[in-house]
A and B are shown apart, each in its own frame.
Chain A
């Protein structure tokens, strides 16, 4: 079965650079979520999109922005990178499930290292 695809899987950037992470949801899923997981930390919700519109916003820094495109893939843009941005970034996708609400399926993550 198709899963959530994230690219790139690994990314190394220097401080103050810009990074773009991409997420391709499971086909027919209309909602995308972004999470940030620092070393030894639990995932922190950043932002979500439903039908190409922002549906919820969490602890996303102002230096980050994201959007969902017409084909439902999403991109997380990160500017003025800081050392503290080094983390595993997960994307998850879902669709409405009347039994369980919004079952989220996670991608493999993008490991961002800022040097």
Chain B
């Protein structure tokens, strides 16, 4: 069964601190994994895409890692800001067969940054 699981479900940190969000997936066949940021009531916005051949990728204060062998990914946020408060969603697409392009979403990690 294709699944994407994230942890923790919610996280509260102080402004300026770092945090790491986890994602485990069982989607097959696997091509890439995406991290999205979703503000309440808004559409998800892509942060980064990790292909199976990439181990680490940075986008500003966001650094994503991928271990395709263990099917795990992490999103590390450094020097958190109040505007980082949002839901961070791990997404894995299926690129083959009749489910072409279908995305499997994790439940997301709700991050709250306190001043």
Chain A residues proximal to chain B, CB less than 8 Å:
4, 31, 33, 35, 41-43, 45, 48, 50, 55-56, 58, 88, 90, 92, 94, 99-109, 111
Which B residue's beta carbon lies closest to that of A42? B105
Q: Complex formed: what's the CA distance from A45 to B40 in Å? A: 19
From DSSP, what is the main secondary structure of chain A's interface residues?
strand
Q: Is the CB of A108 within 8 A of B32?
A: no
Query: Can you pick out 27 interface pairs between chain A and chain B where the beta carbons lie within 8 Å of each other?
Result: A4-B43, A31-B101, A33-B101, A33-B103, A42-B106, A42-B107, A42-B108, A43-B105, A55-B100, A56-B100, A56-B102, A58-B102, A90-B44, A94-B101, A100-B49, A101-B32, A101-B95, A101-B101, A102-B93, A102-B101, A103-B46, A103-B49, A105-B46, A106-B45, A107-B43, A108-B43, A109-B42
Q: Is the CB of A90 within 8 A of B43?
A: yes
CB distance from B45 to the nearest CB of A (A): 7
Of residues A31, A50, A101, A109, which shows the largest number of chain B Cβ atoms within 10 Å of its Cβ?
Answer: A101
Q: Complex formed: what's the CA distance from A60 to B95 in Å? A: 20
CB distance from B82 to the nearest CB of A (A): 21
Q: Complex formed: what's the CA distance from A58 to B42 in Å? A: 22
